[in-house]
A = this chain, B = another copy of it.
Amino acid sequence: MSAKQKRFFLSEDEIPRYWYNIQADMVNKPMPPLNPQTKEPLKPEDLYPIFAKELCHQELDQENAWIEIPEPVREYYKYWRSTPLVRAYGLEKALGTPAHIYFKNESVSPIGSHKLNSAIPQAYYCQQEGVTNVTTETGAGQWGAALSYAAKLFGLEAAVYQVKISYEQKPYRRSIMQTFGAQVTPSPSMSTRAGKDILTQTPNHQGSLGTAISEAIELARTTPNCKYTLGSVLSHVSLHQTIIGLEAEKQMEMAGEYPDIVIGCFGGGSNFAGISFPFMRHTIKDGRKTRYIAAEPASCPKLTRGKFQYDFADEAGYTPLLPMYTLGHKFAPANIHAGGLRFHGAGVIVSQLLKDGLMEAVDIPQLETFETGCLFARAEGIIPAPESCHAIAAAVREAKKCIETGEEKVILFNLSGHGLVDMASYDQYLAGNLMNYSLPDEMIEKSLES
């Protein structure tokens, strides 16, 4: 029992007023996305039909390191930001580690995850440009819930295509979106040409992020004043998420420490980018020695076992070609419960950083993530989202190394969300019904070839 401070907050006027665009500081810039027909590098204008213009510019901006957060966005950030930086005394004690473990608690967002950090500016820029309707896809439903709420804040209509199997398995997430007033459609649906094609070719198709992306893009393209939005992978989403690390940097200063290791779980990359990029600028610019670890599922290991190459972001191949670590856009990940990490590719910035050795990646088997989730829940009181359990597991691995070496390393990880809407997966774990998935090399090779 210690009287030392547990949680660190910023006052509202200390909340950062700029996002950090790491592209401006990178020595090796990310390679450009390509038009799949012409193979020409994309210009912002090429993306105008799909995204709000301001977001298209943010996406490809390699000049400006600091992008001002619009005032209305900052006003809504105040609804839950700053999120607490927490010293995990309970977890340290449970492990018996000399390490100092901190986590940034993004689960306190109204939606329960970090996704709102980007949903609000995306909805804002759309509204500013006269857009009235937004579309998106969602798998587990975290992003869909965030966008539904953000759309409501700016008076926009939201239409969400939710992967059909998830729509049926996670009715609570659907209800959350509907409570915020969004229209939710299970994908594939008969409401789009893409959906019809899929359902006539493959009746009873259970849906995937690929089908949902195709439907959401098609709806945006065929509807006046309607834009598409995405919850991860893209560089402008990572940009918005840097509010996490920028706050954490100030809060670590309040705690009188600086992280030796920064950890985030990894799906498309935006949550990892959010916690790590603001610290990484000191590594890039001042040579500060900090390790950055992305924690991905062993069953979807694009960073640890994928290839760096140009690939599509969706199964149907509607998106631009992106230079990224990928398992192939036809890769079908095992049905693990961390739905938010079941994506075949990594964002272009993170891919370049990994290629350049500025960061590391580890893959975590499913059972280890839930074991760690239960340990964390009992020690810190917060039941973590299955996705976030990957970051905690990586942090616990590092903290256990410190037991052996006796080092008081400072470990910071991002708790991207809580698991209160994912209890069915904990239920399965506690009942002994979950398993690890082995992924033979041949499966990855095959997927990359197709």
Residues in A lying within 8 Å of B, measured CB to CB:
1-3, 5-7, 9, 12, 71-72, 75, 78-80, 86, 90, 108, 110-112, 116, 149, 152-153, 171-176, 178-181, 373-374, 377-378, 380-383, 420-421, 423-424, 426-427, 430
A-B contact pairs, 28 of them (CB 8 A): A5-B12, A6-B78, A7-B12, A7-B78, A7-B79, A79-B90, A79-B380, A80-B381, A90-B153, A110-B380, A110-B381, A149-B377, A171-B427, A172-B424, A172-B427, A173-B423, A175-B424, A176-B383, A176-B420, A176-B423, A176-B426, A179-B373, A179-B374, A180-B378, A181-B378, A420-B420, A421-B421, A421-B423
Chain B contacts for A78, CB-based, 8 A: 5-7
B381 near A149 with CB under 8 A, answer yes
Complex-state Cα separation, A369 to B134, whole angstroms = 29
- Closest Cβ of chain B: how far from A162's Cβ, in Å? 14
Query: Given the complex, which residues of B lie within 8 Å of A175, measured CB to CB?
Result: 423-424, 426-427, 430
Partner pick for A420 among B2, B112, B381, CB 8 A cutoff:
B112
In the complex, what distance in Å separates the CA atom of A5 from the CA atom of B9? 15
Give the oligomeric copy count: 2
What are the 7 closest A-B residue pairs judged by CB atoms, nearest first? A110-B381, A172-B423, A175-B423, A6-B78, A175-B427, A110-B382, A152-B378
Chain B nearest Cβ from A18, distance in angstroms: 17
Measured between beta carbons, the chain B residues less than 8 angstroms from A373 are 179
User: Please, which residue of chain B has its CB at the minimum distance from the CB of A373?
Assistant: B179
The residue in chain B whose Cβ has the minimal distance to the Cβ of A2 is B75
Tell me the minimal C-beta distance from A126 to chain B in angstroms.
17
Closest to A3 in B: B75
Cα–Cα, bound, A72→B2 (Å):
9
CB pair A424 B79 closer than 8 Å: no
Q: How far is the CA of A116 from the CA of B381 in the complex (A)?
A: 10
Docked-complex contact A111 and B381, CB < 8 angstroms = yes
Q: A80-B381, A430-B179 are in contact. Are A1 and B72 (CB under 8 A)?
A: yes
What residue in chain B is nearest A430 (Cβ atoms)?
Answer: B178
New contact pairs (12) apart from A90-B153, A111-B381, A153-B381, CB-CB < 8 Å: A5-B78, A6-B78, A79-B90, A79-B380, A80-B381, A110-B380, A116-B381, A149-B381, A176-B383, A176-B420, A179-B423, A420-B421
